[in-house]
Structure 1
Amino acid sequence: MFSLELDRQAISEGLMLERVSEEAREVGHTLSLTANENVMSRTAAAILSSEFESRYHLGDDSLGRVVPAATKGALHYRGLPAVFELEKLASEITTARLGAAAVDFRPLSGVHAMMTTLLALTRPGDIVLSLPPEVGGHFASRALVQSMGRISLFLPWDAQALDVEAGALGADIARYGAPRLVLLDPGMPLFPFRLDRLREALPRETIVVYDASHTLGLIFGGCFQDPLAEGADVLQGNTHKTFPGPQKAMVALRDEGLSAIYRDAMNQGLVSSQHTHHALALYVTVLEMERFGRAYAEQVQRNAAALGNALLARGLGVFTHRSEVTRSHIVLVDRTANFAAEEACRLLLRAGLSTNSRPFGGMQVLRLGVQELTRRGMREAEMTYLAKIFARLLVHGEDPARVRPDVLALRVEFPRVTYSFDGDRELSVWRSRVERERARTFRAVKENGPRARPRDPR
């Protein structure tokens, strides 16, 4: 780790930037099977370093019309009509896909979305139920709930059904009181929840929030479950796992009453800038998912099943439920021949395979995700090939240095982002123009330096 003095010296000599560039190249040569990341299209990514990266777009879908300037409270600010039009289009598509009365794209991340729904829809002293961390519940949920002055309790869990034990809720409610909100916050969702049973077991006034951070892309593609139709009141989640957008979030609400409450809380101060460049990249991804989402989601599910079954066939212990390995993007490896999960992660990374491990059901497991591989164009045949590579490393103990060239060759074979607008000729011309203009600006500044300010004639 560098000292502050060395950091300054490194930055002044450009060494720190070179180190970051080297790390970016290293990441680019790695095949990502992490369940919590994805890759954006070049079309969406081009917006991230555009002029909008430094501009405000406060965003409010209740404005209802495109204006060159807008007023929010006592603040008068410049409007961005084209951005607003794209936001409205993305909102119309998303509400239709999710069966929502309204959607809000202003949350900045999955945890921020969780914070805003908790603050908007509960009050201090309210009971909030969430999933236990040992079965995949989000590590931050309890701390967030308690820091807001709410009472945090865990949902009863049925390990055999891999679902909330809805039949046990009655006893918990009799003992502790009715919950104001139930937060389903899975970090390893292999199978859909039985939301109808959960809804029936809860009082009518209890709000059910479904965190779709992991499965939003599958839900958007109509391939996992339909939370708002099955009993949830709110669907929230980040937008960079199976949904292949920027690191941002959205909140969709089933009815107008809750939507008005949530929107009012957001307008009162739960967000200021929604990060215009990230928002625009999200809107573009929504349009891509409208066109390609179904085919993408179906292939994600096929790839995950193919990888899980191929790993099983090659001697790796894969978590199964009623003879199925998964219906989502996630595969859990709960046993390897020679390595603990964390050690396996480190070994795989040395071979150019990025994964992660998490506790689940009293053990540490490898959590694999196929969503990025799918968006890069890989299919079942590549999943079988990857299972062979895993077996070479984790079953047969082959040296990662010998395996790494094969991983890199596979990565290089799939350079494109599929299920996207990157192949659209018209958008390709626009994207190339944006990239050329950006490169020309940077080159001019580097060669000529910033222009001197004109001298004051006084």
Structure 2
Amino acid sequence: MKKTILHDWHKKHGGDMVEFGGWEMPIRYETGIIQEHLTTRKYGGLFDVSHMGRFFITGEQATDFLQHVLTNNAAALETGQSQYTIISNENGGAIDDSYLYKINQSDFILVVNASNREKDWEWFQKQIKQFPKARLEDKSEVISMLALQGPKAKSVLEEIFQDVTELPDVGRNNLSVTEFESEQVIISRTGYTGEPLCFELFVPREKTVTLWEKALRVGKRHNIIPAGLGARDSLRLEADLPLYGHEFGEDKEGKEIPILAIPLAKYAVSFSRLKGQFIGKQALKRQFRELKQLENKRKCAKRYLPKRIMSIAISTIGAARQGDGVYINDRLIGEVRSGSMVSYWKFDKEGVTSHITEEKGKRSICLAYIDSETEENQEVQIHAKGRILEGIIVERHLSSEAPPYSRTILVKKREKHVEEDKGLPLLMENLVKETVENHVWRQKKTINLIPSEQTPSKLVRFLTLMDPSGRYAEHKIIEALGESEIPFYQGTEFIIRKEGLLIKEMAKFLGCSQVEPRVISGQQANKTVFSALVDYKNRLDKKTELQRLRKVMNHHLGKGGHLSAQPLGALRHYVMRDPVTEKPAVINFPIQKDNPYKIDLEETAQLIDDHKPELIILGKSMVLHPEPVAEIRKIVDTMEDKPVLMYDMAHVLGLVGPYFQEPFKEGADIVTGSTHKTFFGPQRGIVAGNMEEGTKEYEVWEAIQREAFPGSTSNHHLGTLLGLLMATYEMNLYGRAYQKQVISNAKAFAKALRDSGFTVEGDPDVSYTETHQGLEVILQRWRIAYQRKSQNL
């Protein structure tokens, strides 16, 4: 049997060695599988996964070769990214599943299963003959592979490599190349456990033991332990991850399991035009057509997907094992492919206040290959040895959406909630009583640390309740009537006049020529701009399908970017999918290595030149410095087709001025923002521009006005609009003194925190901040609701 470089270490430290895929590997240590599973979930586990195959693919035709033999789109990978992918045969079955890592422009690593390494190698040797400029090397013996998985994994790696910037960017499937004792190490945010914080390391063989032992020494302070293949299997089962020979391969009857029968596989199969005629394409297309029919609950012949892998939670005592029959009443619908009794940690409370406890539980779960028309919540019976187990089809067993912990998803019994009838008068009385109590608590008895909230003055709040509240005052410029604003209702002269004054005062505050005040939130302000840009882009062609924005540049959500500027937010329907990456056509600002809260302008200039975005969105929710508006204006002014330069100032709108920055003086085309954060007004939004009439840019502004009404708003909340006028008067009267004091307070507080021993983020040369926010990490010890988040100071 083959042995990894850590074989002697495993035996010396209590590893229970077994044969696995032709390798002698530790199935467990003295701690046992259950404890290794639980420790990985709560702290972290270190796994030797050097038995996996590691093929290096290089050369001019490396991408072409990978596009041909793998199901995913290798061309979609940027340097420093990875993807789950499958080695398909012509019938749409899996030769193996694998992970592909792009190290640089023409160098890739493909990790395959240990038991399939030789088979995969032989298959590739046959296929690579068509690609003479591609090279394939098996480096499984010279490059080891470790997996560090769990909530404390990042802390351990930060200590080992000393610099957080040496780790991959936030987000699954990213990777970085760094050094350990002068040797190259590749670190990827990948894993086979379902943990949200997961890393795999590719290490030169001669440095493997040293790095392994250092990881355990550092990890010991975080309660991290070595874990064997037994825990790795129970962790992957709980995470609904497939294993070749179980979910992939052949079923109990010797029939091949189709690739798209596995839920995860739909993320590993691409039909991009860039792939051409790859192996298994036609069979996979047939499977995909049936998969869509099944997902849409349409009638399906089930010729190509007769069964699918589904998750089952078992409610009775006992464990299901591979081969056990799955029934609905007396009808056999399939078989268990993987099953076990799994231990888990219980959490106290729910939502953001939940936290992991010392209490443990056990549950029986399995993955089964069953009739593809079986639906979620269907009750089933599993005929295990000697007993019948009751179960229910579930979407998944584990959630990884709330780092640093993964969380068990338990089946809850459906209980009919009966609301106690207290009578409407009592309910009304309780509503008033509880509202008053909440008001007093929030206004007088607590310190608010939420950076996106501001309390307007009493006068502003009073005006929001006055008569325009609840009325309508739609109006629109009618060209035929002399470019006049025509109201749609009578009796609106007062509020339309006040709206005009608001435009004038807000324009004075921002230093611009146009303001659209009818949007009622910052999110809607952004959506109005995005929709207007798409409308402008399609202004000459009103008969064909709308073209969306070809490319957008913004801040990454994980690095402080606004949610409303993301494809999963307001940008969702307005940016196209990149035909290469098959993802929304968005590129992110690169950050400075020595200050992750500032944009790297040199790299940004290169990205703008390479991608030529149509829209550039500045502005963040986690912001310590002014944005480089003038610098980016200088970059885009050299371009023939200039992108729109937009600044989402949601969190810093109230700081516009000489003490922070003046975006329109610096070259911004459009500013959006919320009027209830640093700007102390009611909850609304604004769009502002500085565009000259008669230019093509002004046509964009006219599109913004159309999108504000009638495009996105009818009743534009006249009460809060009136209150916003008063708030803008206040900002123009008192704002400069307020801005200066807020920034001064933030600097003083950040410095005081630092002097008191707190870990404060930011540049000490500017007292850690140039805005109203400070960033620190210590408060997480007291479970305050934010962690590495911004705070109004």
TM-score when normalising by structure 1? 0.68
* Contact 2:464-2:721 within 8 A present in 1 as well: no
Aligned mates of 2:648, 2:739 — CA distance in 1: 18
**Equivalent position amino acid for 2:490 in 1:** R
SS at structure 2 position matched to 1:120: helix
Check conservation: 1:305, 1:325, Cα contact below 8 A: yes
Residue aligned with 1:284, SS: helix
Which region of structure 1 is more displaced relative to structure 2, 139-148 or 43-52?
139-148
The residue number in structure 2 matching 1:13 is 426
After superposition, what is the alpha-carbon deviation per residue over 1:112-132, rounded to whole angstroms, capped at 9, x for unaligned?
Answer: 111011111235142111101
- Asked if residue 53 in structure 1 is aligned to residue 469 in structure 2, the reply is yes
* 1:18-29 equivalence runs, <5 A: 18-28=433-443, 29=445
Identity of counterpart residues, as a percentage? 25
1:117 aligns with 2:529: yes
Deviation at 1:260, TM superposition (A): 2.2
Q: 1:52 to 1:278 in 2, by over 3 A?
A: same
Superimposed CA distance per residue, residues 394-449 of structure 1 (whole angstroms, 9 cap, x where no aligned partner): xxxxxxxxxxxxxxxxxxxxxxxxxxxxxxxxxxxxxxxxxxxxxxxxxxxxxxxx
2:590: which partner in 1?
A: 156
Alignment of 1:167 with 2:602, yes or no, is: yes
User: Residue 242 and residue 59 in structure 1: after superposition, are their counterparts in 2 closer, same or farther (change >3 A)?
Assistant: farther
Instruction: Please name the residue that 2:571 is paired with.
Output: 145
Pair 1:344 & 2:783 matched: yes
Shift, 1:60, TM fit: 5.7
Q: Tell me: CA distance 1:98–1:16, structure 2 relative to 1, closer, same or farther (3 Å).
A: closer
Instruction: Report the CA distance shift for 1:22/1:138 in structure 2 as closer, same or farther (over 3 A).
Output: same
Deviations for 1:21-44, whole angstroms, at most 9, x for unmatched residues?
A: 322222122122321111111111
Aligned partners of 1:61 and 1:104 also within 8 Å:
no
Q: Which residue of structure 1 lines up, in the alignment, with residue 728 of structure 2?
A: 286
Cα offset for 1:99? 2.1
Distance (Å, rounded) in 1 between the aligned partners of 2:420 and 2:708: 39
Aligned to 1:136: 560
Instruction: State the alpha-carbon separation in 2 of the partners of residues 173 and 7 from structure 1.
Output: 60
Q: Equivalent residues in 2 for 1:145-294 (5 A)? A: 145-150=571-576, 151-161=585-595, 162-173=597-608, 175=610, 177-202=611-636, 203=639, 205-219=642-656, 221-256=657-692, 257=698, 258-294=700-736
Deviation by residue 1:315-358 (Cα, 9 ceiling, x = unmatched) = 2111131422211111111335xx44xx431xxxxxxxxxx52x
1:86 alignment partner in structure 2: 498
Contact 1:183 1:210 survives alignment (8 Å): yes
Query: What is the alpha-carbon distance in structure 2 between the residues aligned to residue 11 and residue 278 of structure 1?
Result: 29
Distance verdict in 2 for CA 1:8–1:252, change over 3 Å: farther
Return the alpha-carbon distance in structure 1 between the equivalents of residues 748 and 609 of structure 2. 45
1:70-112 per-position Cα deviation (integer Å, ceiling 9, x unaligned): 745xxx3124222222222222222123221200111111111
Q: Which amino acid aligns with 1:327?
A: E
Moved more, 19-28 or 7-16: 7-16
Equivalent residues of 1:59, 1:274 under 8 A apart: no
Structure 1 residue 20, shift from structure 2 partner: 3.0
- 1:107 matched to which residue of 2? 519
Shift of 1:3: 8.2
Secondary structure of the 1:210 match is: strand
Aligned-residue offset at 1:271 = 1.6
The 3-state SS of whatever aligns with 1:187 is coil
* More strand per residue: 2
- Over aligned residue pairs, what C-alpha RMSD do you find? 2.8
Structure 1 stretches of 5 or more lacking a match? 346-355, 358-363, 371-458
- 121-130 vs 111-120, greater mean Cα deviation: 121-130
Residue type of the alignment partner of 2:685: A
Q: Separation in 2 of the partners of 1:52 and 1:3?
A: 43
Task: Output the TM-score relative to the length of structure 2.
Answer: 0.40
**Cα-to-partner distance string for 1:232-269 (whole Å, 9 max, x where unaligned):** 11011000111000110111101131322321332342
Q: Is the 8 A contact 1:10 1:16 kept in 2?
A: no
Partner of 2:3: none
Structure 2 vs 1, CA of residues 11 and 135 (structure 1 numbering), >3 Å: closer, same or farther?
farther
Aligned-partner Cα distance in 2 for 1:62–1:96: 26
Q: Rg larger in 1 or in 2?
A: 2
- Cα distance in structure 2, aligned partners of 1:59 and 1:288: 27
After superposition, the Cα gap between the structure-2 partners of 1:125 and 1:97, relative to the gap in structure 1 and judged at 3 Å, is closer
User: Separation in 2 of the partners of 1:278 and 1:215?
Assistant: 20
2:457 corresponding residue in structure 1 = 41
Change (3 A) 1:183 1:4: farther
Are the structure 2 counterparts of residues 168 and 112 from structure 1 closer, same or farther at C-alpha, using a change threshold of 3 Å?
A: same
Of 324, 333, 338, which residue of structure 1 is paired with 2:776? 333
SS at match of 2:788: strand
Contact 1:209 1:235 in 2 (8 A): yes
User: Partner letter of residue 791 of structure 2?
Assistant: L
Paired amino acid for 1:271: T
C-alpha distance in structure 1 between counterparts of 2:515 and 2:590, whole Å: 30
Go from structure 1 to structure 2 and tell me whether the alpha carbon gap of 1:31 and 1:61 turns closer, same or farther (over 3 Å shift). farther
Q: In the aligned structure 1, how far is the partner of 2:591 from the partner of 2:426?
A: 55
- The aligned counterpart of 2:792 is 369
- Please show how residues 443-458 of structure 1 align to structure 2 within 5 Å: none
The 1:7/1:34 distance shift into structure 2, 3 A limit, reads farther
Q: Please identify, of 41-50 and 148-157, the stretch whose mean Cα deviation from structure 2 is larger.
A: 148-157
TM-superposed deviation, 1:301: 1.0
The one-letter code of the counterpart of 1:332 is L
**Structure 2 gaps, min length 5:** 1-349, 351-414, 535-546, 577-584, 693-697
Looking at structure 1, the residues matched to 770 and 549 of structure 2 have their Cα atoms a distance apart, in angstroms, of: 37
In the alignment, which residue of structure 1 is the partner of 2:225?
Answer: none
CA distance in 2, matches of 1:369, 1:164: 22
1:305 has 2:747 as partner? yes
One-letter amino acid of the structure 2 residue matched with residue 130 of structure 1: N
Rounded Cα–Cα distance in structure 2 between residues aligned with 1:209 and 1:47: 31
- Tell me the amino acid that sits aligned with residue 147 of structure 1: H
Looking at structure 2, the residues matched to 103 and 270 of structure 1 have their Cα atoms a distance apart, in angstroms, of 16
Relative distance call for 1:236 and 1:61 in structure 2 (3 A) is: farther
1:13 counterpart SS class: helix
| 1:30–1:335 CA distance, 2 compared to 1 (3 A) | closer
Instruction: Quickly say closer, same or farther: Cα 1:210–1:70, change in 2 above 3 A.
Output: closer
Question: Which is richer in helix?
Answer: 1
Residue of structure 1 aligned with 2:757, choices 315, 331, 339: 315
**Post-superposition CA distance 1:279-305 (Å, at most 9, x none):** 111111001111111111111111111
* Aligned-partner residue type, residue 315 of structure 1: G
CA distance in 2, matches of 1:118, 1:7: 46
Q: Which whole-Å CA distance do the structure 1 matches of 2:762 and 2:575 have between them?
A: 39
Q: Write the letter of the residue equivalent to 1:367.
A: S
1:195 and 1:232 in contact (8 A); partners too? yes
The residue type paired with residue 331 of structure 1 is: G
Residues 61 and 88 in structure 1, CA contact (< 8 A), matched pair in contact too: no
Aligned 8 A contact 1:130 1:153 in 2: yes
Displacement, 1:212?
Answer: 0.9
Distance (whole Å) between structure 1 residues aligned to residue 549 and residue 684 of structure 2:
29
Contact 2:669–2:689 at 8 Å: present in 1 too?
yes
Contact 2:562 2:621 in 1 (8 A): yes
